[in-house]
A and B are shown apart, each in its own frame.
Chain A
Amino acid sequence: DVKVTQSSRYLVKRTGEKVFLECVQDMDHENMFWYRQDPGLGLRLIYFSYDVKMKEKGDIPEGYSVSREKKERFSLILESASTNQTSMYLCASTKPTGVGTDTQYFGPGTRLTVL
């Protein structure tokens, strides 16, 4: 079974703090993704990575950065947290097969509150 884990289920931070959200997958997947999920907006892609040290911006990258130093780990960084970054953050991974219908495997999510 593919397992995608995230470092925290719940996190509370103060405005201006630097925040690290960690995601680890154990199935040697090349691709990893960070989404944020907000009511009425669905999931929106923040960043994704298709290899170690490679990254691409998603639809809403402003205020975020990412790091992928090892294949199994993909970190999302909020350089200076703001209240409008209060959200549920979901990590996902997938192994590209060239078929197109590759399943994305999701972590349990981190609910971040910025006060």
Chain B
Amino acid sequence: AQTVTQSQPEMSVQEAETVTLSCTYDTSESDYYLFWYKQPPSRQMILVIRQEAYKQQNATENRFSVNFQKAAKSFSLKISDSQLGDAAMYFCAYRSGGGNEKLTFGTGTRLTIIP
């Protein structure tokens, strides 16, 4: 079974600075997908960014980018120019490349933005 590990339960960053959230996963599969989801306080979980394992190029979405290291099974999220609205729980998730739609989530990292 696949596992996803987020080793930083809490992180904080000064507004406008850059922060990196770490995620590692364990799998024997070669075909899979990785995601970062954001859960703001008292608000719905939303997708931040996603990455196909077969793509070497790291995904980017505006201020959000990933550092995908397939050999190391690492999938970190970099947030540039941090804003107050980035304060949230961030979850890393793994999905197998087969037909199964199931996501396996990490335990989450709570990000605090310091004004």
* Interface residues, chain A, with chain B CB atoms under 8 Å away: 4, 31, 33, 35, 40-45, 48, 50, 58, 90, 92, 94, 96, 100-104, 106-109
Residues in A whose Cβ lies below 8 Å from that of B106 = 42
Apart from A42-B105, A96-B101, list 6 A-B contacts with CB within 8 A. Answer: A31-B101, A100-B95, A101-B35, A101-B50, A103-B47, A106-B45
Contact with A45, one of B9, B33, B37, B102 (Cβ below 8 angstroms): B102
Number of A-B contacts (CB under 8 A): 52
Q: Which chain B residues in 1-18 approach chain A with CB under 8 Å?
A: 4, 6, 9
Chain A nearest Cβ from B47, distance in angstroms: 5
Docked complex Cα distance between A4 and B44 (Å): 10
Contact call A106/B105, Cβ cutoff below 8 A: no
Contact with A108, one of B37, B44, B101 (Cβ below 8 angstroms): B44
Contact call A101/B52, Cβ cutoff below 8 A: yes
Known contacts A94-B101, A102-B101; is A40 also within 8 Å of B107 by CB? yes
**Residue of B at shortest CB range from A108?**
B44
Known contacts A40-B9, A42-B91, A42-B108; is A104 also within 8 Å of B103 by CB? yes
Docked complex Cα distance between A101 and B53 (Å): 10
**Residue of B at shortest CB range from A96?**
B101
Contact call B52/A100, Cβ cutoff below 8 A: yes
Q: Tell me which of A43, A92, A108, A109 has the highest count of chain B C-beta atoms within 10 A of its own C-beta.
A: A43
A-B residue pairs, 4 tightest by C-beta: A106-B45, A42-B107, A43-B105, A42-B105
Residues in A whose Cβ lies below 8 Å from that of B108 = 42
Contact call B47/A108, Cβ cutoff below 8 A: no
Residues in B whose Cβ lies below 8 Å from that of A108 = 43-44
